[in-house]
Amino acid sequence: MGLNLLLLVAMVATNILSLYHLSSTRSPTPSSTTPADVPDHLLHQLHTIRATISHLTRLRSSSSSSSAAASAPPPELLLYSRIAPIASSCSDHPDLLHRYMNYTPFAACPRDDAGAVAEALILRGCHPLPRRRCFSPTAPKVPASLPSDPFHAALPDAAVLWPLSAACRSFSCLPPALGFDPKIEATRFLSARSVLDLPLTQLLNLARSAGAAPIRLGLDVGGGTGTLAVQLRRMANATVLTTTLDLGAPYSEAAALRGVVPLHAPLQQRFPVQDGVLDLVRTGHAVNRWIPGPALEFLLYDADRVLRPGGLLWMDHFFCRAGDLDAVYVPMIGHLGYRRIKWTVASKTDAGGLKNGEVYLTALLQKPLPASSTAVKASSS
């Protein structure tokens, strides 16, 4: 920017001096062909300015070439971009993208901050990430056997590749409230502690009475360590995928150790599921008022896309400001045209809820059946 300004000033000065020279030159008479003499000081100034312009131009060209060389993409990124598209948001963060793709092919992937860089890109909309031709780092000590009980007293620490900079490198020192205490997780979704809770026995009964049973396939959005997937597998032999991000704690690894499939995907990403095949989609605490309105609306319509006709959308403990519930979120949810099976609103009584005047909403909603199916069902009854 400074270099361009200097060039501009120099060029303007040259033009001004040239005009001055032309205006101060005597007009030749028909009888005289000798040009007027140019003052020496003016010639000296013109030569100085022209030399400065030439020097600045050379500096500009060399600076541009050096900056281009510094930001040149890694060879692996260039190669991959020829064989597969890269999400447009990735190009908005070239520094992170270059760090992620800067590795030695056919060798070990970088160990230091690969996970942090990957999640930083994912959270910025760069998903799916480009593939890499390197070997992902794995835990140094593989356990002889993995627990068959998903709520085993202690998940094996050796099965996790803990970040080098992590202060805690054991499941035992992770906060229990985050889903890493097997005793707490073993009781989740089994009983109601408040009117907002929906125990799985009640969920299955409601699904049966609404004609939405059986629940065989599901998706738990922001499902943490996969507890819902484990409980529904035990109670209904259902297969539930769990979307999760690690964000400083091994949520994905914990879910996998419990024998359920974690999908490493952000909330703004299209669900990697075929249209109209799921019986249940649940959104947990991760889906709340902090998500921008358009992003939440896209998420709800993507849930509609993957649900089969008659499938269930379970919004579990969604929280927002009390005034926004009727003004913003009830109309947004209402646009889906789903039938309300359960709709419960209660105050959020923790410190943040009281300070911000927030409420919880737990809703169980059913996707409409096609008109033809409804007519057939009515005639058969």
Length of the chain measured in residues: 381
Q: From residue 342, give the alpha-carbon distance in Å to each of 168, 223, 234, 244, 315.
A: 40, 21, 24, 26, 10
147-171 per-position pLDDT tens digit: 888 998 888 888 888 887 778 889 9
Is the per-residue pLDDT at 31 higher than 50? no
276-320 per-position pLDDT tens digit: 999 999 999 899 999 999 999 999 999 999 999 999 999 999 999
Q: Return the ∠ at Cα 119 (arms to 155 and 299), rounded to 5°.
A: 95
180-223 per-position pLDDT tens digit: 999 999 999 999 999 999 999 999 999 999 999 899 999 999 99
pLDDT at 23: 47
pLDDT at 28: 46
Is the per-residue pLDDT at 58 higher than 70? no
Q: What is the DSSP string of 321-349?
A: EHHHIIIIIHHHHHTT-PEEEEEEEEE--
Pick from 62-66, 134-138, 170-174, 322-326: least confident: 62-66
Domain boundaries, the chain: 75-123, 174-380
214-238 per-position pLDDT tens digit: 999 999 999 999 999 999 999 999 9
Phi/psi of residue 296, nearest 5 degrees: -65, -40
C-alpha–C-alpha distance, residues 6 and 13, integer Å: 11
pLDDT at 50: 57
Peptide bond into 140 cis (omega under 30): no
* Sheet of strand 217-221: strand arrangement: 262-264, 239-244, 217-221, 278-283, 307-321, 358-366, 339-347
The DSSP symbol for 112 reads S
- Give strand pairing partners of 89: none
C-alpha–C-alpha distance, residues 371 and 62, integer Å: 69
For residue 360, the surrounding DSSP H or E stretch is: strand 358-366
Is the per-residue pLDDT at 10 higher than 60? no
174-380 CATH, one of 3.40.50.150, 3.40.640.10, 1.10.30.50, 3.40.50.2300 = 3.40.50.150
- Give strand pairing partners of 339: 366
Q: Which of 324, 96, 80, 308 is nearest to 213 (CA)?
A: 308
- Average pLDDT, integer, range 316-327: 97
The pLDDT confidence band at residue 17, using thresholds 50, 70 and 90, is very low
Tokens 């913003």 correspond to what residue? 328
Tell me how far apart the 2 most distant CA atoms of the chain are, in Å: 118
C-alpha–C-alpha distance, residues 299 and 304, integer Å: 9
C-alpha–C-alpha distance, residues 255 and 262, integer Å: 6
Is the per-residue pLDDT at 75 higher than 80? yes
C-alpha–C-alpha distance, residues 155 and 171, integer Å: 7
pLDDT at 33: 43
C-alpha–C-alpha distance, residues 204 and 219, integer Å: 15
Q: Which of 204, 279, 207 is nearest to 241 (CA)?
A: 279
Residues 6 or more apart whose CB falls under 8 angstroms from that of 252 comprise 244, 245, 246, 262, 264
Is the per-residue pLDDT at 340 higher than 60? yes
pLDDT: which is higher, 76 or 273:
273
Pick from 125-134, 143-152, 328-337: least confident: 143-152
